[in-house]
A = this chain, B = another copy of it.
Amino acid sequence: MTQVDVRQRILSDNAAAATTLRERFAASRTLVLNLVSSPGSGKTTLLEATVRALAGRLRLGAIEGDIATERDADRLRALGIPAHQILTGGSCHLDARQVRGALEAHDLGPLDVLFIENVGNLVCPTSYDLGEDFKVALLSVTEGEDKPFKYPSIFAKAEVTVVTKADLLPYVSFRLDDVRAQVAALRPAGTLLVTSATTGRGIGEWCALLEQRLAAKRAAGA
C-alpha cells in the first residue's frame, strides 16, 4: 500500500463517518459549524461572544479540538454551555471518527447549534468533512491581508469567512478590500463578515446568520 493509497483510505473512512454524523445531525435538527483558522485568530473568543449574545434563545454546544490542554472547552463551560474537548494526540486536525466518538462518549444533550472548533491550522482541517452544514474560516486582521491566496483551499471551502479583531484595524496594515476581493475570487457566493468580540462589531450579524441558517435547515427537513 503506497502513501497515496493510505491517504485515500483515511479520507474514505473519514467520509463514511461524516455521512453518519450528518444523518445524526439531520435527525436531531442541529445546525453544525466547523470553524477553521490559524492558531490565535479568535475562534474561542468568537464563540464566547456568540454564547453571550444567544444565551437563552438557542441551545448551544461545542466540541473543541486541540493538540493539548482543555483550556478552550473550559472557557465555554464557564459560560454555561456543554463543551467537550478532543485532544488529537499530535494530529493537526479533527476527523469525523473523533467527533463521532466524542458524541457517543459525552452526550451534549439536545442542541440547536453545535460548534466544532477545529485545531488551529489553515491547512490540515481542509480535507476532513466532519458532517457539518458548513465550514467557517476565521482570519484576524493582525495576520495580514495576504492569507486567502496563500491558503486558498480553506477560503474556497468555507461558506462563511469571519474577519476577527477588527478593533485592531487602526494599528495594523490590513487592507479589508483586498481580503474581500480574494475571498470573492475563491468563493464567489460566500459571505464575509467583519467582527470584533471586543467592541461587538458584527456579532449581531453573525448571530442572525446562525439563526437564519438554523431556520432554513429546519424548514428543509420538515
Contact = CB atoms under 8 A, between A and B. Distances in A.
B67 A123 contact: yes
A66 B149 CA distance: 10
Interface residues of A, number: 37
A218 to B, nearest CB: 35
A66 to B, nearest CB: 6
A168 interface: yes
A146 B92 contact: no
Contact of A69 (B1, B90, B150, B165): B150
A87 to B, nearest CB: 10
Interface in A141-172: 142-144, 146-147, 149-153, 165, 167-168, 171-172
Contacts of A167: 171
Interface in A101-151: 119-124, 140, 142-144, 146-147, 149-151
A10 interface: yes
Interface string A38-54: 11100000000000000
Nearest to A9: B3
A1 B176 CA distance: 48
B92 A40 contact: no
B119 A39 contact: no
Contacts of A69: 146, 149-150
Contacts of A146: 69, 71
Contacts of A168: 142, 168, 171-172
A127 to B, nearest CB: 9
24 contacts: A1-B1, A2-B6, A6-B6, A38-B38, A38-B40, A38-B120, A39-B147, A39-B150, A40-B147, A66-B150, A67-B153, A68-B150, A68-B152, A69-B146, A71-B149, A120-B150, A120-B151, A121-B121, A121-B122, A121-B123, A142-B142, A142-B165, A142-B168, A171-B171
Given A68-B152, A121-B123, 18 more contacts: A1-B1, A1-B2, A3-B6, A3-B10, A38-B38, A38-B40, A38-B120, A39-B150, A39-B151, A40-B144, A67-B150, A67-B151, A69-B149, A71-B146, A71-B150, A121-B122, A123-B124, A171-B171
